[in-house]
Homo-oligomer: A and B are copies of this chain.
């Protein structure tokens, strides 16, 4: 096996280290977060750090970095208090990836990609059209991670729309029925296929 210690990692070129360290946590969620500026420009940005935090209350978290693109998202959420999370399908990956380009805050990525906004009743922020899972969130809290000046943003799920054929009777959502993708590193997009679903694991009485 290839081995890197802490000094090797420190000595890497920036790009090599970015690619490596962004890859080795494993597959990541692929989401478009839509926010609104005070001038009603809708920003769209791709995130790969949206994580389940808890089910009751229903909470999600994601990480924002001190770079320009996530700052638009961050500023808008702090200013307006709401955002939507939209899953990315196989057919949307090119436009979804392009949303990571550093456009100024007054440009909407809806105007620079094939992605379209979908407005729904009772929510101030649009969703991404044809996204099979669309989540409306309110801002709940932020935690400043002092180690590297990032922030964990906590959102509360307010409304949830999902394609009916993904939903099982017990609440489990079969993502592969929606051709929902996952992210490998900074720029790799992969399509998972379900292998198996297990039941709740209980200790074995005998070895």
Residues of A whose CB lies within 8 Å of any CB of B are 1-6, 9-10, 12, 14-31, 48-61, 63, 65, 85, 87, 90, 93-94, 97-103, 107, 111-112, 133-135, 140-141, 143, 145-148, 150, 152, 154, 157-164, 167-168, 170-176, 180-182, 184-204, 207
Contact = CB atoms under 8 A, between A and B. Distances in A.
A27 B194 contact: no
Interface centre among A1, A167, A196 (most CB of B within 10 A): A1
Contact of A182 (B18, B26, B98, B170): B26
A53 B70 CA distance: 14
Nearest to A103: B203
Contact of A145 (B14, B53, B102, B198): B53
Contacts of A150: 53-54
A82 to B, nearest CB: 13
B93 A195 contact: yes
Contact of A112 (B30, B167, B176, B203): B203
Q: Is the interface of A mostly helix, strand, loop or mixed?
A: mixed
Given A3-B161, A20-B167, 4 more contacts: A24-B133, A97-B201, A152-B152, A187-B198
A12 B58 CA distance: 12
B17 A58 contact: yes
Contact of A193 (B15, B174, B191): B191
Contacts of A161: 1-3
A181 B182 CA distance: 11
